[in-house]
Amino acid sequence: MALHPTIAEILANLPHPEGPLDPAAMRAGDDAQVPPLEERLPLHTVDDTIAHTPTGDVPIRIYTPVDADTYGVLVYFHGGAFFLGSLETHDHVARSLAHETGLKVIAVDYRLAPENAFPAGLDDCYAVVRWVADHGDELAWDEKTLAIAGDSSGGTFVAAVAALAHDDGFERITHQVLYYPSLDLDFDVDRYPSLRENAEGYGVETAGLKGFNSFYTDSGADPADPRVSPLKRTDLTGLPPALIVTAQYDPMRDEGERYGARLTDAGAEATVSRYAGANHGFVQHFSWIPDYHQVFAETAAFLRGDRK
């Protein structure tokens, strides 16, 4: 299938950035695209608070879809190449996840590179997951479902958190959901065919990956470290069931699909779902297109235990 025509039209009209990347300017540009509150999907409640954790105070946003006695919980890590993204830029993703899954969604405002050295962001994400388990009563957690989900670099954190939890003997995470994850920060173009097949013209380009991720790697994140490149972890046994969503026209498509294959080989449950005609970032940028909004219903079905 060709690139979705709506996506193709929008990409064709996007300006091409020139010169060195400027995190402050790029963040401001992303913030300018956030819709006003009255245009966002309404939920029962949306509350900002602080998770007081052993690694520090982490801002979080709690999305409660309906009034109920108890809830399953999904902890969400936004994307943005480890230096972009916020509770605001990905608010619509968290709202859609809460609405479609019926779970209480907790979005993590983790510390960003380059201002914060590795592993600050990863520590925040893992700490909030542990915080949820420790504060189940006040969250009305049903103590059954504790899922983690993330898009792009947020998907990197999902895989890394799942592994850290397993190594620590913390077995409360029930599901991991990764949307077009970046799982191997070694961007040698010969490592995965999709790095060459989708190198140019689809929004995120192979030649730009090293530069975008340099804010993270220059802050101490070593691509050889499995916490940074989860595909470099040698043993994937014992990890929670995974839904890995990939995009046909994503340079990083194959590493996500490789993660699914390796999980299966290790005896873990893994579902890989490739979205035809989609590009990297489609959950954040193009989930208003009906074909791609389906990703939230698929996520809900996976979390319920429905199988294709």
User: Phi/psi of residue 122, each to 5°?
Assistant: -65, -40
- Regarding beta strands 270-279 and 141-151, do their DSSP bridges make them parallel or antiparallel, or are they unpaired? unpaired
Work out the angle at residue 7's Cα, subtended by the Cα atoms of residues 86 and 33, and round it to the nearest 5 degrees: 30
Q: Which residue has the tokens 């097949």?
A: 197
CA 36 to mean position of chain CA atoms: 23
Of the candidates 89, 110, 101, 104, the one whose C-alpha atom is nearest the C-alpha of residue 154 is 110
- Would the CA dihedral through 77, 81, 82, 83 be positive or negative? negative
306: which residues sit within 8 A by CB, 6+ positions away? none
Which residues have a catalytic role annotated? Answer: 152, 250, 280
Would you call 246 helix, strand, or coil by DSSP? strand
268: which residues sit within 8 A by CB, 6+ positions away? 236, 237, 238, 239, 240, 241, 242
Q: Which residue has the tokens 């605001």?
A: 88
